[in-house]
Amino acid sequence: MSYVDGFVLAVPNENKQKFIDYANKFDTIFIEFGATRIWECWGDDVPKGEVTDFYRSVQAKDDETVVFSWVEWPDKATRDAGMKKVMEDPRMEAANPMPLDGKRMIFGGFTPVLKLEK
């Protein structure tokens, strides 16, 4: 079964196009090293919660939008090998500075346990 890396980010509203351009440039490296699909999703209907929410998870400021992203891989072995290659790729050095505060990004790898499709 596939493997998924998930990300939640806070991106300054004024950097929306910079973020899209950034992701378009660097996400292709993930595809090159085995990722099968990448989604970059700009927050549109993200409610504030009473206890916790996406905004608090990344300490988003009033002038920032929450971005939810994921990278799909065929399996964890491909992800582990691909991610290692991505991190070692010299093109990634140009990924800084990012159009967001990377210290507030949350991320993790996930094993799917259920997949429904139409």
pLDDT in tens, the chain (118 residues): 799 999 999 999 999 999 999 999 999 999 999 999 999 999 999 999 999 999 999 999 999 999 999 999 999 999 999 999 999 999 988 878 889 999 999 999 999 999 899 9
The verdict on residue 118 lying in a domain is no
| Closest by Cα among 44, 1, 40, 48 to 22 | 40
Confidence (pLDDT) at 40: 98
The verdict on residue 14 lying in a domain is yes
d(CA 66, CA 69): 10
Find the CATH number of the domain harbouring 64.
Answer: 3.30.70.100
Confidence (pLDDT) at 78: 98
Domain that holds residue 27: 3-110
The verdict on residue 61 lying in a domain is yes
The verdict on residue 35 lying in a domain is yes
Looking at the structure of the chain, the number of domains it has is 1
d(CA 58, CA 9): 6
The verdict on residue 116 lying in a domain is no
The verdict on residue 92 lying in a domain is yes
